[in-house]
Amino acid sequence: MSLVVGGQLSGTLAVLFASVLWGTTGTAATFAPQVSPVAIGALAMGVGGLLQALIALKSLVRFRHSLRQHWRLVLTGGLAVGIYPLVFYASMHLAGVTVGTVISIGSAPLLSALIEYLFEGKRLSARWMLGACIGIAGMILLCLGKGAGHDESAMSGDVLTGVMLGLLAGLTYALYSWAARQLMQQGVPSKTSMGATFGLGGLLLMPVLFITGGPLLASWNNAAVGTYMALIPMFVGYVCYGFGLARIPSSSATTLTLLEPVVAAVLAVWVVGEKISPIGWLGMGMVGVCLLLITVPARRYQPALS
């Protein structure tokens, strides 16, 4: 029992650390404004995915028969990885960074739970549902709080498109998390599962990077931002995320990543100079409550022996 609890704790901490790294991407992207969101996404996830495949190369060869046997999971995960960064960064570009991030990350836990229910018949605890609802409500308040005090234009077709793309990003995020988790549960090691799905997704993103990535080479600053995005948040972050997925359910992992928009918002205040109203800080506090409900195990009391 202690080994299981220890594994869950280490998995939880790994996912939280990955979320902190991912939360830096929005601020980092502001240092390369000439680079399109699609190019940033293709570089970060594409190169990061290929690096994941590279470090798992020996393991990919060793478990090639298992991967071939479960090719549907590999294909599902790879396609989701290839689509996710394009729609995620496009959502932020059209609907705004805060709204795009909130919808993409905030919708993932519920979509992940729906996927687990549909394909595994898995039911989530009332505690998890309460935590997820509090976290999502906190994300909404954070979104409203970041928008307060700024000039806002009326809802347009671009914003609506951004919202829909954010929902698609949440779905693809939930899908590749679920597919990688399923591979691990079929006996494929974490590094191999992540290397296969992210390697395939990285290959799919290379043509996009080739077409849109010219500005990344226009200056050393742009190149440095792109290198950071690919190596730290995406490569290191997803190595940690894969470690966590091997130890906790994908629905719990996607819920824990609600920390990402909070980190992004705090960095936007400290580094970029954006403002957050009190309602936004309340939203951050609600996300903290969500994380406690999800991560702290429920105490089980046993009757005293007479």
Distances (CA, A) of 85 to 3, 65, 112, 265: 35, 29, 17, 19
Q: Please, what's the largest Cα pairwise distance for the chain?
A: 76
Question: What's the token pair of residue 268?
Answer: 């936007």
Q: What is the DSSP string of 108-124?
A: HHHHHHHHHHHHH----
Tell me, what's the pLDDT at 14? Answer: 92
Kindly give the confidence (pLDDT) of every residue in the chain, 306 residues in length, as a single tens digit, with 9 standing for 90 and above: 554 555 788 888 999 999 999 888 878 887 888 888 889 889 889 998 999 999 999 999 999 999 999 999 999 999 999 999 999 888 877 777 667 777 787 778 778 878 887 887 777 778 878 887 887 888 778 777 665 544 454 445 676 788 789 889 989 999 998 998 899 888 898 889 989 999 999 999 999 999 988 888 888 888 898 899 889 998 899 889 888 888 888 777 877 887 887 887 788 778 877 677 788 788 878 877 877 776 665 554 444 443
- Residues 50, 52: Cα–Cα separation, whole Å: 5
> Smallest Cα–Cα separation from 140: which of 295, 22, 290?
290
Tell me, what's the pLDDT at 5? Answer: 52
pTM, entire model: 0.79
- Residues 29, 188: Cα–Cα separation, whole Å: 34
CB within 8 A of 174, min separation 6: which ones? 108, 109, 111, 112, 114, 115, 250, 254
Tell me, what's the pLDDT at 146? Answer: 60
